[in-house]
Amino acid sequence: MNTITRRQALGTTAGALTVLGLTAAATTTSASASPTPATPPSGADRVEEVYQGRRIQITPGSGGGHHGGHHSPGLPTVRIDGQELHVMRNADGSWISVVNHYETFSDPASLARAAVRELQGATLAPFAPMGGAA
């Protein structure tokens, strides 16, 4: 896990949160790694990478999932340091996220990297914003 070493070496103030995030992410990865890769085409490949010191994990969608009520099953789950990033697919196949919501990206990995740049080291808030739904 040289990625963790690198993350710790950066010495960010979010260190404690990062460790928690990585723990949660590792659990999720092992849980979702067992199903066969017979997922519907979602435009997303599985990604595990460290970008600018942040861990990006993309798990291809397999129908349903956290987007209950959406008509677009198969959305990938994108996490940054273990925190889920809300993403959306446009009709033309491009992607947006809640931190870059007016700018489109060609694939979830470039979307996630743009989110890392936008965050400038900040931790993603829990999935639903504070204050509840509309």
Nearer to another protein, 24 or 88 (CB): 88
Asked if 72 touches another protein (CB under 8 A), the answer is yes
Does 2 engage in binding with another protein (CB under 8 A)? Answer: no
Distance CA 45, CA 128 (A): 25
User: Applying CB under 8 A, which of residues 44, 78, 99, 112 lies at the interface with another protein?
Assistant: 99
> 15: which DSSP letter?
H
Centroid of chain to Cα 117: 14
* Residue 68 sits in the site that holds another protein (CB under 8 A): no
Q: Using the CB atoms, write b or e for 81-108: b if 16+ within 10 Å.
A: bbbbbbbebeeeebbbbebbeeeebebb
Nearer to another protein, 112 or 124 (CB): 124
Q: How far is the CB of 33 from another protein (least distance, A)?
A: 28
